[in-house]
Structure 1
Amino acid sequence: MKLLWLTLAALLLLSALAPGSAQRCWNLHGKCRRRCFRKETVYVYCTNSKMCCVKPKYQPKKIPWSF
């Protein structure tokens, strides 16, 4: 009986830690979210009207002579 309770507690904990994955965008380097984290930047919008948040290492480099 204790093993059953331990198993149920472990499953409950695992389900709380992994809520699901967000939709991917920007060649699978970005995630669709309502708000981006501090260093992430929005370049496009996802099909579900959320922002595509991209981390700095995957952001395109700006050309210095362009506006």
Structure 2
Amino acid sequence: MKLLWLTVAALLLLTQLTPGGTQRCWNLHGKCRQKCSRRERTYVYCTNNKLCCVKPKFQPRENLWPF
């Protein structure tokens, strides 16, 4: 029975770890990934040729009236 609880605890800990550890970008507001989620946009590219996925609220706004 103790072996069962030890196995369950080990599996729960392994599910909490992120696979590969994502690299941060864009002032630590974005993550380097192969594909962005629906709620993220690509603004720049990471140094490892992946997309820097950033939520729209952290991206600079486009200047509608350039002078």
TM-score range, shorter chain: 0.7 to 0.9
C-alpha separation between the residues in 1 aligned to 2:55 and 2:44? Answer: 13
C-alpha separation between the residues in 2 aligned to 1:8 and 1:19? Answer: 19
Aligned residues: CA RMSD: 1.6
TM-score with structure 2 length normalisation?
Answer: 0.79
Deviation (angstroms), 1:31: 0.3
Partner of 1:52: 52
Contiguous gaps of at least 5 residues in structure 2? none
Partner of 1:65: 65
Partner of 1:22: 22
The percentage of counterpart residues that share the same residue type is 54
- Letter of the aligned partner of 2:11 in structure 1? L
| Paired positions, count | 65
Contiguous gaps of at least 5 residues in structure 1? none
Deviation (angstroms), 1:14: 2.2
C-alpha separation between the residues in 1 aligned to 2:26 and 2:12? Answer: 32
